[in-house]
Structure 1
Amino acid sequence: MTRQERAAWLFVAPVLAIILLVLVLPALLALALAVTDYSIYALADLSALRFIGLGNFTDLFGTPLFWRALGNTALFALFGVPMAIGSSLAAALLLDEATVRWKPLWRVVLFAPYVTSVVAAAVVWQFLLNTRFGLLNYGLGLIGIGPVDWLGNPRASIPAILIFVTWKIFGYNMIVFSAALSAVPHDLMEAARLDGASRWERFRHVTLPAIGPTLLLAAVMSVAGFVQLFAEPYVMTMGGPSQSTVTVLYFMFDEGFKWWNLGQASAVALILFAIILLLTVVQTRIGRRYEWL
């Protein structure tokens, strides 16, 4: 090994050690726990620990709440990802217009929710969505619509959390899209405009292919984020009403830290990892098909 190579390994060694301790080792421990009945009894006495193979997985597949959590998570991802990406891309396109003034100020204002504490923002939104004195219901009352029990109605709870999550992560994707739009070749846009292409045609045939890799990145990150949704339903609804906002990660938290079924919670973590990996592979293949990678 040359002197430069030794120096390079010396510099990256602390980062590799952190990755090993924080990411790799916990993942291996979760894999080991998933095939055991590790619980609060094993915490007190390791002799109570048993190897049960795929028992945790078969128990999960026979648990109705797990399937309910899986369905709720699918709904969050199915509707939340288009909402988050569409709204942030639209805002980035608007801010990319030459006629918009004070662009840096608008970017700071729209990005601010992303760096706000999730718990603090969720508590504020609980008051905004309150049935009796919430600002949102007050606005609906001005146009003749009666109050909506946003967090107490199973049909309204998921849309309410989706609106909050979209508002919360909106700024990050907007900044990413703004950076991608600034790299779109202006000569191609000008040539398309001179050829008589409409605004939609310029977006479809010039802007969209240019920002394709960025769009794919935002989609992968957004899907992973919505599949791992936890803090928002935990703070705003505690999984209710009628378990309508229990997500897979929420279910895993309850299994591990409420009921102390750590083996089963580890099995849920592995299933969640497999779901995210599968969705990422599918999105990557789609990106390659459209030559975004």
Structure 2
Amino acid sequence: MSVRRLAPKELQPESFAFTAENLAWAENTIAKYPAGRQASAVIPLLMRAQEQAGGWVSEPAMRYVGDMLGMAPIRVYEVATFYTQFQLLPVGRKAHIQVCGTTPCMLKGAGDLMKVCKNKIHAEPFHLNESGTLSWEEVECAGACVNAPMVQVVNEVFEDLTPEILEGIIDAFERGEKPTTGPQNGRKSSEPVTGLRVLTSPELYDGSMVGTGVGLAAAREAIAARAAAAAAPKPAEPAAAAAPAAPPKSDPAPAKPPVAEAVKAAGSADSDKPSKPVAPPPAGEKGN
């Protein structure tokens, strides 16, 4: 992960405070967490502070949020600098263009989209244009890989882009307009660019079958068919073959197998060996 630092002092505002509406929202949000766990609200409060400030989080805003939650400033800095959803520098007043540069988008032309941003906004990311209305950056996967390449502006996505289409979107933001979001090549959602090949019947998804009982009727027919099959008489099963009778328990135990001739010979040889001689007692000793 790249190093993310707070904006320089000359860009930081003197102070920050929630509006009355946002303050009431923040207090309600904090109240959702158990006592002693108020710090868990740091991300939603930072997000609300970013929205109020026009798209970025200043150092005074971080301190303000930390004071509300009883957190040391460094703990709030850690959160704000870790998550890339928080902008640490001022962004364009009208739009901050986030160009996805992950592999699927790059293979589909994200590099050309970045060239458009460099030409129409600024040669470097995280810099405002001359009027301060637009800015841009490269981001990692924004979750629209099927519709690559794409860009995101706040919480809106623009997919299936070409350099020419992105130029038109940027110009629309500059004029203060709201461009049409979603795929820009005419397809619906993330369906195949060649058109749907399955589930093409409109009644499968247009809601025309809702409330007509078609599905319920089919279910009832299936239940009735299973009940009829269960109630039908079953064909007689053929008699099972008689199992062989078990041997009587009084049968004598089987005879032991005969001893091998080699084993017999070894036993005879052992019995014919002379007994082990006993050494004579040492000289001078008499036997008892």
Q: Is the structural similarity TM-score above 0.5?
A: no
Higher share in helix: 1
Higher share in strand: 2
TM bin (shorter chain): under 0.3
Larger radius of gyration: 2
What TM-score do you get using the length of structure 1 for normalisation? 0.18
Structure of higher RCO (CA pairs closer than 8 Å, 6+ residues apart):
1
